[in-house]
């Protein structure tokens, strides 16, 4: 296809110059109508090329018409302009295509297929929860796959498949997918660490009094938003099997979740259930980031968390206790549809929990 485009462009260039060098008085000299037709053909042949390239060709052709009315050197000027427009345009395309393929090669090397078998144990089966309960969380989380599966599959495909499957037409396909490369780079970029909003306290606060169910349900949106920010579904990458995953970005908070007024977040810690035989609460100066779990300290679940985990395993999604003007909240992180492929197990299995400490804003 690329060769056909080049040959067609050269034929049009030859035809234009043949018309330019015809004696002005003879039949066959370049007329305005013919020039417009030539521009239209060039636009069609090079259609859907990058806009700056097409503009260059059209502007150069317009200047070529000015050259034709120059008494002595008009033909030379018009010919040079038409040839230059063609050479420069294709040079721009070649440069962009070369740059694009270098970027693709770099991304392929940066996002090879890896196995999640060792780093991601199979989820432990827990009591089943109603589908409607998981549906409510998934709807609130709003999974965004962004460039994940298709783009990473495209990234690791063969060059000929790159050309055939890229949206667009003609040679424009070779350079029109730079936005795909950019979106992949954004997807694999880890969010910057977000400091914990409150200081770390050595003492564990008492469990406090149970919060009424109606009050607990008010925290559902806050907890679901926390899951969505932490999971970062745009960074899921391309999953072929647990042994072949490309471009997966470890879960990390993109933004600090904000509870509804009048509360403010003091601390948010991840309770891990999959990697350890006993629940482990990871203690970090930042909001949870999976990439740092191997290097941060952990503590056993306290009384509130241990009791809350039993209720989450039995099917509840949120457990809350009040401690004066503060609230301790434990929210389930369950195996959702988009998670089952990597985590294994069943939809609804308990993968972990978030342990929150909230305080009334003063």
Q: Give the range of the structural domain holding residue 219, as residue numbers without chain letter.
A: 131-360
Domain count, the chain: 2
Which domain-ending residue is among 73, 108, 143? 108
Q: Are 352 and 301 in contact (CB under 8 A)?
A: no
How is 243-283 classified by DSSP, letter by letter? TEEESPPPPB-SS---PPTTEEEEEEEEEE-SSSSS-EEEE
- Mean of per-residue pLDDT scores for the chain: 76
How much is the average pLDDT of 306-333? 92
Residue 34's nearest CA partner among 60, 12, 7 is: 12
Statement to judge: residues 187 and 226 lie in one domain: yes
State the pLDDT at residue 48. 47
* Domain match, 79 and 8 both: yes
Considering the domain boundaries, does residue 126 fall inside one? Answer: no
Q: What is the pLDDT of residues 284-318, one digit of tens each?
A: 999 999 989 888 999 999 999 999 999 999 999 99
pLDDT tens digits along 39-83: 555 555 555 455 555 556 556 655 655 555 565 666 677 777 777
> What does the alpha-carbon distance between residue 321 and residue 66 come to, in Å, rounded to a whole number?
81
Residue 56's H or E segment, with its range, is helix 51-68
Instruction: Examine residue 333 and state whether it is found in any structural domain, yes or no.
Output: yes
Burial class (CB in 10 A: 0-12, 13-18, 19+), 297: exposed
Strand runs labelled E in 18-176: none
Is residue 154 situated within a structural domain? yes
Within a domain: residue 121? no
């Amino acid at each position: 296809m690329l060769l056909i485009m080049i040959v067609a462009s050269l034929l049009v260039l030859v035809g234009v110059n043949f018309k330019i060098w015809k004696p002005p008085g003879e039949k066959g000299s370049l007329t305005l109508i013919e020039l417009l037709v030539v521009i239209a053909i060039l636009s069609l042949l090079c259609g859907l090329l990058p806009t700056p390239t097409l503009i260059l060709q059209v502007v150069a052709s317009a200047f070529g018409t000015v050259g034709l009315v120059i008494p002595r050197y008009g033909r030379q000027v018009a010919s040079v302009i038409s040839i230059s427009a063609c050479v420069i345009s294709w040079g721009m395309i070649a440069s962009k295509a070369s740059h694009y393929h270098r970027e693709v090669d770099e991304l392929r090397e940066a996002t090879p297929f890896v196995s999640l078998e060792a780093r991601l144990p199979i989820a432990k089966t827990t009591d089943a929860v109603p589908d409607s309960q998981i549906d409510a969380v998934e709807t609130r989380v709003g999974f965004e796959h962004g460039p994940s599966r298709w783009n990473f599959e495209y990234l690791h495909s063969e060059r000929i498949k790159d050309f055939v499957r890229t949206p667009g037409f003609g040679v424009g396909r070779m350079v029109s997918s730079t936005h795909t490369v950019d979106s992949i780079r954004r997807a694999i970029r880890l969010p910057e660490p977000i400091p914990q909003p409150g200081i770390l306290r050595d003492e564990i606060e008492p469990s406090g009094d149970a919060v009424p169910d109606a009050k607990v349900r008010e925290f559902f949106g806050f907890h679901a938003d926390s899951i969505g920010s932490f999971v970062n579904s745009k960074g899921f990458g391309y999953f072929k099997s647990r042994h072949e995953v490309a471009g997966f970005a470890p879960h990390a908070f993109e933004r600090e979740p904000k509870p509804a007024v009048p509360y403010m977040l003091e601390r948010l810690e991840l309770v891990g259930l999959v990697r350890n035989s006993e629940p482990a609460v990871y203690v970090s100066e930042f909001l949870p980031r999976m990439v740092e779990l191997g290097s941060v300290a952990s503590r056993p679940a306290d009384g509130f968390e241990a009791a809350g985990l039993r209720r989450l395993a039995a099917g509840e999604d949120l457990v809350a206790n009040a401690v004066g003007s503060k609230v301790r909240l434990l929210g389930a992180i369950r195996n959702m549809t988009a998670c089952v492929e990597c985590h294994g197990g069943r939809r609804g299995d308990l993968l972990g929990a978030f342990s929150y400490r909230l305080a009334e804003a003063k």
